[in-house]
Amino acid sequence: MSDKLAKRLLGLALLAAISSCRAAFFASDLTATAVHVPYMKNAGNECYFLDDFMPTPDSMTTGRNGNLSLRYYSYKMANYKEWTKAKINLSFYSNDSRCWSLFEEFYTTD
């Protein structure tokens, strides 16, 4: 087998492998099951111990603003209130990093 033909066959094999991986990746996204996020009130006098009951988010960002701790939970697919199978983002603040209050909730679409 010539060197040129071997390189061409290797290139075709790599292309086929990449295509099949990409197809499998997108198929798994379409069949994802939505997470059930518990209903929470958006009020300053509420206190939630998030580590005790929140489902694991797809991503979570933490930070500080002055003396407040902040958490941003993102779910790619979630059932929350009247929103079903939507991208949900919840934002919380805390003074002691134990008791959290919800200050923002929204869903996004593509």
96-105 pLDDT, tens digit each: 999 999 999 9
The pLDDT score that the predictor gives to residue 23 is 41
**pTM over cut 0.85:** no
For residue 53, give the amino acid letter.
F
User: What is the per-residue pLDDT across 29-77, written as a single tens digit (0 to 9) for each?
Assistant: 556 789 999 998 887 788 999 999 999 999 999 999 999 999 999 999 9
Are the CB atoms for 53 and 35 separated by under 8 Å? no
The stretches of the chain forming alpha helices (DSSP H) are 3-30, 50-53
d(CA 14, CA 9): 9
